[in-house]
Structure 1
């Protein structure tokens, strides 16, 4: 099955760092999902969890990724990146299927 998401090297390094240094149990793996969906659209979430019966399991560069079957369609084409600046740091979700904006 085609991977619905992609993960940048920087984000992958940060995820592995969190798993190694934040006491994430070894039977847990990365979970990617969505919340909401009303007028405000959806919010994307990252976390660590055990597999559940309604999950689809994907792999990216050796990392297992859990996505609930009902969330897969909302995550198609999503690229997860990690940014770090003097003001903030965190994961970002960018829809790589969206047309690029060209300013005139």
Structure 2
């Protein structure tokens, strides 16, 4: 586990809307950490995954922002450097969306990407 607190070489940020939503979710899930991962699969090759955790794993980076602790594992971080997690609320629904400058293509639903 590495606490990197958004150092330049491993930068990942939360928008204010994402931060506010995660605070609410962490309380309702009674969890300590919000986990952001990249998994194989999805219509564009990779997909984003969001979950909760009570503790970090050995290969996790631990981020702290706006009073929130969130985790990204080392393999996922390779895909997410320079990205921002957004929380979008529209008439069609509310969801998390990652603005990823490393992605060369995204699917229409916004949950998968390719590099």
Please confirm whether the aligned pair reaches a TM-score higher than 0.5, indicating the same fold.
yes
Q: CA deviation at 1:38?
A: 8.7
The alignment's C-alpha RMSD in Å is: 2.3
Q: Using structure 1 for the length normalisation, give the TM-score.
A: 0.77
CA distance in structure 1 between the aligned counterparts of 2:44 and 2:73, rounded to whole angstroms: 21
Alignment length (residue pairs): 96
Q: Using structure 2 for the length normalisation, give the TM-score.
A: 0.71
- Superposed CA deviations along residues 35-94 of structure 1, whole A, max 9, x for unmatched, are 116983211112111211121212222211211112111111111111111211111111
Q: Contact 2:86–2:96 (CA<8 Å) still a contact in 1?
A: yes
2:39 to 35, 42, 49: 35
CA distance in structure 2 between the aligned counterparts of 1:75 and 1:97, rounded to whole angstroms: 7
Q: Contact 1:79–1:96 (CA<8 Å) still a contact in 2?
A: no
1:45 to 49, 54, 57: 49
In the alignment, structure 1 segments of 5+ residues that lack a partner are: 99-104
Q: Contact 2:37–2:49 (CA<8 Å) still a contact in 1?
A: yes
1:60 to 49, 65, 69: 65
CA distance in structure 2 between the aligned counterparts of 1:97 and 1:39, rounded to whole angstroms: 17
Matched with 1:23 is 29
Matched with 1:5 is 12
